[in-house]
Structure 1
């Protein structure tokens, strides 16, 4: 089956964003008068729960707080606004090889897409900060976590991306940095390349087609097609 598309996760895969997310959470907590401060170890543990609102809810359960003690959606919106502002201040860079891989893929006639748990404003902010362009000018297909019923490791967001691409999973490769992302891609029938990030180096990547420090280790577009899975017969 021919390779037709590359589908990228965002946070940790396109860029090392998680420290900026952690800073945005902590600054938002302080501004809202909450005495919460997530350390790196706290955040590494919380990243096992996908989605910012769910991480806040998880933290509240850890503190034995009632689920309605805080307006979680409002708190998360404030965090997203702060994250977008922080990203606009600069300092965030794409991971090694990402810009070149995307440019080469497009030149080769492949479609590049996004399948992410994060929200669309975060995707747009990253693309403006790192590419200097709106997300939909770079990625014709974008599927975000707030568009599906279940976040990663469920396959929903990858299935949505494949539906919008109008291709079978055997014609695409996924790029992830975490075990939750890998499990999501695998459940959608996609072969997955993993580039562990700062917070995910200790994850279990069993089932990945390959695990490399970054995409510069892949050997170019011509090395990707052999990684495609065998078409399913069920």
Structure 2
């Protein structure tokens, strides 16, 4: 029996990466006086690294103008990431990032059917607060029985820490829950926690491999609305013929 549905955030609930985090990073670079810019392909490559600060540190490895010492790089990554989060919050507050198709409908169905909702993400609490306040209003936290963010689970996906903590806070077994993700690292994290996991391919992971996914589709409305009744019925029958094609 399904008792809980656990959601990733970035790319799963909303297409936050290309038109949200990437833009905010570029604004932060400018504000910090850095002659850096992440175009769409560059950011897509950097998404192989999970976590904003970790992404910055990986980028610094290829920059001659980055601080030479590890401590200097870590300090710069913290400063840029703090500014980036402020720019991101302003962007989503202006309604610039909508929920992906079917997300709100499936969440509403879960609430009607008394299937608890949870968040398992390695993005920061401030980013989640900004996005979900914009999408669901100031009482958004009332929707969720468990919320796990980067501050709760510092080990980034594909480490299963975020999912294991979400399960513990929900008080359910992996067999009683289901995860929805958009990336290979997210899928690996969910599977390592013992969860079945469905994939709604986000913009940057349209061509990625998703071995072990319970199902695979472009979003929660295509080719047909995903409901709680069909969510588990599709388990093990990935709808690979419906996946989107091509990267940005």
| Shared fold (TM-score, shorter chain, > 0.5) | yes
Could you tell me how far apart the structure 1 residues matched to 2:84 and 2:231 are?
A: 37
Q: Is the 8 A contact 1:119 1:145 kept in 2?
A: yes
Q: Does 1:118 align with 2:123?
A: yes
2:71 to 52, 59, 68: 68
Could you tell me how far apart the structure 1 residues matched to 2:100 and 2:235 are?
A: 23
**Between 87-96 and 42-51, the greater mean CA deviation after superposition:** 87-96
Q: Is the 8 A contact 1:170 1:228 kept in 2?
A: no
Give the number of aligned pairs: 228
Quote the residue 1:155 is aligned against. 160
**Cα distance change of structure 1 residues 219 and 33 upon mapping to structure 2, 3 Å threshold:** closer
Could you tell me how far apart the structure 1 residues matched to 2:209 and 2:35 are?
A: 33
Quote the residue 2:52 is aligned against. 52
Quote the residue 2:244 is aligned against. none
2:98 to 81, 93, 97: 93
**Ranges in structure 1 where 5+ consecutive residues have no aligned partner:** 230-234
Q: How does 1:19-30 map to 2 (within 5 A)?
A: 19=18, 20-30=20-30
Q: Does 1:181 align with 2:199?
A: no
Q: Is the 8 A contact 1:191 1:227 kept in 2?
A: no
1:194 to 191, 199, 203: 199
Q: Does 1:14 align with 2:13?
A: yes
Normalised to the residue count of structure 1, the TM-score between the two structures is 0.93
Q: Does 1:140 align with 2:139?
A: no
Residue by residue, what CA displacement relative to the aligned partner does 1:32-71 show, whole Å, maximum 9, x if unpaired? 1001100111100110100000000001111154333342
Could you tell me how far apart the structure 2 residues matched to 1:186 and 1:28 are?
A: 34
Q: Does 1:225 align with 2:232?
A: yes
Quote the residue 1:232 is aligned against. none
Q: Is the 8 A contact 1:3 1:228 kept in 2?
A: no
Q: Secondary structure at the match of 1:145?
A: coil
1:166 to 164, 171, 174: 171
Q: Secondary structure at the match of 1:158?
A: helix
Q: Secondary structure at the match of 1:154?
A: coil
**Cα distance change of structure 1 residues 110 and 29 upon mapping to structure 2, 3 Å threshold:** same
Q: Secondary structure at the match of 1:204?
A: coil
Q: Secondary structure at the match of 2:117?
A: strand
Normalised to the residue count of structure 2, the TM-score between the two structures is 0.88
Residue by residue, what CA displacement relative to the aligned partner does 1:80-100 show, whole Å, maximum 9, x if unpaired? 111101111112110001100
CA RMSD in angstroms comes to 1.5
Could you tell me how far apart the structure 2 residues matched to 1:146 and 1:42 are?
A: 27
TM-superposed CA distance for 1:73, in Å, is 1.4
Could you tell me how far apart the structure 2 residues matched to 1:116 and 1:190 are?
A: 15
| TM superposition outliers: structure 1 runs of 4+ over 6 Å | none
Which has the bigger relative contact order, CA under 8 A and spacing at least 6?
1
